[in-house]
Amino acid sequence: MKAALVSETGKTPVYGDFKAPIPAPGEVQIAVAAAALSPTVRSRAAGKHYSATGNIPFVAGVDGVGRLKDGRRVYFAFAEEPFGSMAEQAVVKPSHYVPLPEAVGDLTAAALAIPGISSWAALKMRAKLVVGETVLVNGATGTAGRLAVQIAKHLGAKKVIATGRNVEALQRLTALGADVIIPISQSAEALETEFQEQFRGDGVDVVLDYLWGPSAELLITAAAKAAKESVPIRYIEIGAISGANISLPSAALRACALQLMGSATGSIPVELLIVAVGELMEAVVPGHLKIETEAIPLADVEEAWTKDSGNRRIVFIVG
């Protein structure tokens, strides 16, 4: 079968032939139609993601959309190694796929699943968002952050605060549900003051952090100085675009009721994440969830792998 092959860690995958997977007892085979290129996919191919095994060669790709032998259209993830999703065929466990609503096309489903589930799972499974609460999305101008704003509103957030460096991109988030936008490119002193303003009054109930690094330090410090006494703030770390580590003052944890946790495959069982993707897909139409996509034939994987697609999610068309 044709596939995007990783034959050397850190090298761009190449389009070539690979043995077709044969399902073991209890597994199902999927004819792949589309698979998205995400930071996770790139990181795994480079051997840098925490889930990378280092075994090569293998087929790139974490998740995708395809059809079972009975014709049902499904979303699937975590194909059995060495078979990834960027190939004509994949094999998965039954707990690693969910049916797709007819109203959600292959391109949208493949593009939206990973960035969308980052906030869907964080809000529903980790933060356990209550309707009427306030959510702050730190790093809201990326693909996942933009979806987080939309998903928070769909799940009942009364107020959504969005942060990011690109002011123009931040302003566009108001049309997607952001009630307050905060540029983080300003001075640290000014930014901390703005964060404190948000933690005062009705306050912030949930923080979804896609950045970590310096802005996370300022958020936690601001919460310690301005948050309501004994009112829990569920701080969910999702990404670390701005830095893998922070300096965490012990006083900040004593000064406010901060609940610091992460959200990813390590903190949520894979099977539950797949179920959550099914819920997310059912919400795409009623929630008016939007994501920009760019369809590219899988045969062009080498050229597209390092392409800067801006705010669009690249989706490889396989079938």
With H, G, I as helix, E, B as strand and everything else as coil, classify residue 65.
strand
Tokens of 212: 């970590």
Amino acid at 61: G
CB 115 within 8 A of CB 140: no
Span 151-193, pLDDT tens digits: 999 999 999 999 999 999 999 999 999 999 999 999 999 999 9
Cα distance between residue 137 and residue 123, in whole Å: 11
In the sheet where 14-17 sits, what is the strand order? 14-17, 2-6, 58-59
Which amino acid, one-letter code, is at 185? S
Task: Compute the half-sphere exposure of residue 308: CA atoms within 13 Å on the CB side of its CA.
Answer: 1
Alpha-helix runs per DSSP H in 122-249: 143-154, 167-172, 188-199, 213-226
Task: Output the pLDDT for position 206.
Answer: 98
Which domains, and CATH codes, for the chain?
A: 2-103+285-317 (3.90.180.10), 115-262 (3.40.50.720)
C-alpha–C-alpha distance, residues 110 and 37, integer Å:
9
Burial class (CB in 10 A: 0-12, 13-18, 19+), 62: buried
Check if the beta carbon of residue 192 is closer than 8 Å to that of residue 215: no
**Model pLDDT for residues 81-99, shown as the tens digit of each residue:** 899 999 999 999 999 999 9
- Dist CA 314 CA 94 (whole Å): 27
Average pLDDT, the chain: 93
Token pair, residue 300, equals: 């062009």
- Residue 10: count other Cβ atoms within 10 Å of its Cβ: 9
Write out pLDDT tens, residues 221-245. 999 999 888 789 999 999 999 999 9
In sequence order, the β-bridge partners of residue 300 are none
- Taking the C-alpha atoms of residue 314 and residue 280, their distance in angstroms, rounded to an integer, is 20
Of 303 and 39, the structure prediction assigns the larger pLDDT to: 303
Q: Summarize pLDDT for 97-152 with one digit per residue, the tens.
A: 999 999 999 999 999 999 999 999 999 999 999 999 999 999 999 999 999 999 99
Q: How far is CA 255 from CA 20, 82, 120, 205, 222, in A?
A: 57, 48, 29, 16, 10
Give the angle subtended at the CA of 275 by the CAs of 270 and 280, to the nearest 5°.
115
- Nearest-CA neighbor of 210 among 270, 254, 144? 144
For residue range 258-314, list pLDDT tens digits in order. 999 999 888 999 999 999 999 999 999 999 999 999 999 999 999 999 887 778 999
Residues 277, 199: Cα–Cα separation, whole Å: 31
Mean pLDDT of 33-47: 87
> Which residues on neighbouring strands pair with residue 15, listed in sequence order?
4
